[in-house]
Structure 1
Amino acid sequence: MEWVPDLRQLRALVAVAEEGSFTLAAKKLFVTQSAVSHSLRTLEEQLNCRLLDRSGKKVAVTSEGELLLHRCKRVLHELDQATCDLDGLRRWGQTRIRVGAPHSLCHFIIPSVLREFRDCFPRCEPHIEAGDTDALLDRLSKGELDLVVGLKPKNHGNDGYRPMFSDRLAFVISPFHPWAAKEDQMVETLGEQQFIIYSKATETHRLIESWLSKIGGRIKAPLVLGDMQAIKEMAKLGTGVGLVASWVAAKEIADGTLRAVEIPGPEMNRDWGVFHSSQREPSLVEEAFIGLCEMAFENMPR
């Protein structure tokens, strides 16, 4: 006979396993102890196996019980999440969403995403926090953020990650810089350049540092700035050579106030995406935000 699971039995099994006691499990579920005991004995009879060891002072889960318990927790979590999602759908976004993103995306991507998001979920309150991707991912793992839009760290797996966009860093220079006329002189004259790079403690900075270390002591100490616009303005004036993604300087490259020069080597490739908790599926509101991010990245200059 096919077993049809009873949610009361599953919740009783999880509660007893977590509390180690029928009495405490009953209090947690707001039912009588006999109701919990009856539910679990019926469950064991239906499955024809012993799920709990009742011989000691504290109730223990058997190996068969552990196997079922693992599945039960996943089923109950999904049901609870579905209840939350349906409630949010009924109230049409009357909730909040906490998103982390690096400063560059807060300038170029997040504003357009927020505009569309607010049109779809006018009663949802978005909280945006700018910072380094690694620090934001740490906050995501602690449950302090719901989503992070940013660069994928080199050693990060694909659990809880949605790939969106790939780019590579480039040199941006004044149109009067010698490289603008003779790019083939770039490698020979690297040591003469004043590089201008983005602030420390960011994934982009670590990428640049790795590339600079490979060309050794042939270069000057880079000028470190915390604002992409400042890097572009200084490059325009010929103060130095900026290291940014081409899309960051797309407007200036289009109007001719900056030129982009490709950096040799594969080290400057970057992957962008949206991170969510690997412990659960994104809610309906979070999925909507992720979808809007995907649309925004598709419109990025390449």
Structure 2
Amino acid sequence: MIETIDSRQLLAFCTLVQTGSFTETARLLNLTQSAISHSVKNLEEDLRCQLVTRTGRRIHITEDGEELYKDAQAILHQMEDARSRIQDRANWGRGKLRLGASTTACQFMLPNVLREFNECFPDCLLSIIPADTPQLLDMVRRHEIDIAIVVEPNNTNDVRLRPLFSDELILVSSPIHPFAQKGTIKMVDIAQERLVLYNKGSLTFNLVEQFFRQNKLTLQNYIELGSMEAIKELIKINYGASFLASWIVEKEINNGSIAHIPLGKRKIERRWSTCYANEKKLSITEETFLGICESVVSTMRSDQGKVTSFPASTSKS
């Protein structure tokens, strides 16, 4: 006979670990403090080990408790996913989808994706959190969001990635900037120029910084902004130069308000992906959303083939 663990006791224990307070745990679970205390005590008796200790009002997790917490989180999330998938089948299109995306993806990619998604699931409740890739990856790991659109990080094996496309960050300036008047630009000149860059905590900023390190230079004079539109406006008034994705400034380059400064063979390339938790089993709603993302990207490739390079989409962990 298989010995199972009471899921309500697991939930009480995990919530206690997260809050560090019996009082707060009781409030969140709509139970009495005594009920939480008995649940944890019964769980300890069932497993024949001590999971938590008390020092005054403070709660400390034992080594056994930490080990159980890791497994319990996965178990509870799997139960939550199972319920979601069953309800998704029973109530076609009436589920919930929690999305995360960078401000760039929210502005330039998501509108087309959401328009098509809404045609398939008009009754689905959507929530969208704008954030940069490091924050989005953390939220995926904590199961706070279901799917995120991110700049693909290096050496990340604890989330599942489905590549969407790759792009290139190009050097841009105002048409009246000295860079636009020269045929060749030296890296040392770029390093000394005032640069207007995207958020310092983003992977995009890290890629630019890495590009300079590879050329044995450091970023010396820059400001950071969280809006691509704001960055473009500063470039137009000749406030400095920037590295922006070619597909984001395509219109401005074509109408002559921003100039593309060639760097020769030197390139800064990014890869964009959708991502979700490794242990997550996708619902029909989530699979459809991912498929629409890939379809929209395919259309972008057709419209902007010379601007952005899109690889074939394959899943990877």
Common fold by TM > 0.5: yes
Amino acid at match of 1:193: E
The aligned residue for residue 145 of structure 1 is: 145
Tell me, yes or no, if the aligned pair for 1:160 and 1:278 is still in contact at 8 Å.
Answer: yes
The aligned residue for residue 197 of structure 2 is: 197
The aligned residue for residue 233 of structure 1 is: 233
The one-character-per-residue Cα deviations of 1:104-143 (angstroms, maximum 9, x if unpaired) are 1111011121111111101101100001111111111111
The one-character-per-residue Cα deviations of 1:46-90 (angstroms, maximum 9, x if unpaired) are xxxxxxxxxxx9899xxxxxxxxxxxx99xx69x84x75354234
The aligned residue for residue 60 of structure 2 is: none
The secondary structure found in structure 2 opposite 1:122 is coil
The secondary structure found in structure 2 opposite 1:282 is coil
Q: Which runs of 5+ in 1 are unaligned?
A: 1-11, 25-56, 61-72
> How far apart, CA to CA, are the structure 2 residues paired with 1:120 and 1:103?
24
Instruction: Name which of structure 1's ranges 149-158 and 100-109 shifts more when overlaid on structure 2.
Output: 149-158
The verdict on how the C-alpha distance between 1:187 and 1:212 changes in structure 2, with shifts beyond 3 A counting, is closer
Tell whether 2:300 aligns with 1:290: no
The secondary structure found in structure 1 opposite 2:104 is helix
Tell me, yes or no, if the aligned pair for 2:168 and 2:269 is still in contact at 8 Å.
Answer: yes
Tell me, yes or no, if the aligned pair for 1:172 and 1:241 is still in contact at 8 Å.
Answer: yes
The secondary structure found in structure 1 opposite 2:135 is helix
Tell me, yes or no, if the aligned pair for 2:101 and 2:128 is still in contact at 8 Å.
Answer: yes
> How far apart, CA to CA, are the structure 2 residues paired with 1:183 and 1:157?
43
> Of Structure 1 and Structure 2, which has the larger fraction of its residues in helix?
1
The verdict on how the C-alpha distance between 1:160 and 1:192 changes in structure 2, with shifts beyond 3 A counting, is closer
The aligned residue for residue 164 of structure 2 is: 164
Q: TM-score, normalised by structure 2?
A: 0.66
Q: How far does residue 230 in structure 1 lie from its aligned partner after superposition?
A: 1.3
Instruction: Name which of structure 1's ranges 168-177 and 182-191 shifts more when overlaid on structure 2.
Output: 182-191
> How far apart, CA to CA, are the structure 2 residues paired with 1:87 and 1:274?
24
State how many pairs are aligned: 237
The aligned residue for residue 184 of structure 2 is: 184
Task: Give percent identity, aligned residues only.
Answer: 30
Amino acid at match of 1:165: F
Q: How far does residue 172 in structure 1 lie from its aligned partner after superposition?
A: 1.3
The verdict on how the C-alpha distance between 1:187 and 1:130 changes in structure 2, with shifts beyond 3 A counting, is same
The secondary structure found in structure 2 opposite 1:200 is coil
> How far apart, CA to CA, are the structure 2 residues paired with 1:273 and 1:212?
25
The aligned residue for residue 271 of structure 1 is: 271
Instruction: Name which of structure 1's ranges 120-129 and 85-94 shifts more when overlaid on structure 2.
Output: 85-94
The one-character-per-residue Cα deviations of 1:6-25 (angstroms, maximum 9, x if unpaired) are xxxxxx62xx1546xxxx9x
> How far apart, CA to CA, are the structure 1 residues paired with 2:260 and 2:114?
30
> How far apart, CA to CA, are the structure 1 residues paired with 2:267 and 2:158?
20
Tell me, yes or no, if the aligned pair for 2:117 and 2:292 is still in contact at 8 Å.
Answer: yes
> How far apart, CA to CA, are the structure 2 residues paired with 1:277 and 1:220?
38
Tell whether 2:122 aligns with 1:134: no
The aligned residue for residue 246 of structure 2 is: 246
The aligned residue for residue 174 of structure 2 is: 174
> How far apart, CA to CA, are the structure 1 residues paired with 2:292 and 2:112?
9
Q: Which runs of 5+ in 2 are unaligned?
A: 10-44, 49-73, 309-317
The secondary structure found in structure 2 opposite 1:286 is helix
The secondary structure found in structure 1 opposite 2:129 is strand
> How far apart, CA to CA, are the structure 1 residues paired with 2:199 and 2:291?
29
> How far apart, CA to CA, are the structure 1 residues paired with 2:127 and 2:263?
36
The aligned residue for residue 89 of structure 1 is: 89
Q: How far does residue 297 in structure 1 lie from its aligned partner after superposition?
A: 2.0
Tell me, yes or no, if the aligned pair for 2:209 and 2:219 is still in contact at 8 Å.
Answer: no
The verdict on how the C-alpha distance between 1:147 and 1:176 changes in structure 2, with shifts beyond 3 A counting, is same
Aligned CA RMSD, in angstroms, stands at 2.9
Q: How far does residue 158 in structure 1 lie from its aligned partner after superposition?
A: 8.4
The secondary structure found in structure 2 opposite 1:155 is coil
Q: How far does residue 272 in structure 1 lie from its aligned partner after superposition?
A: 0.4
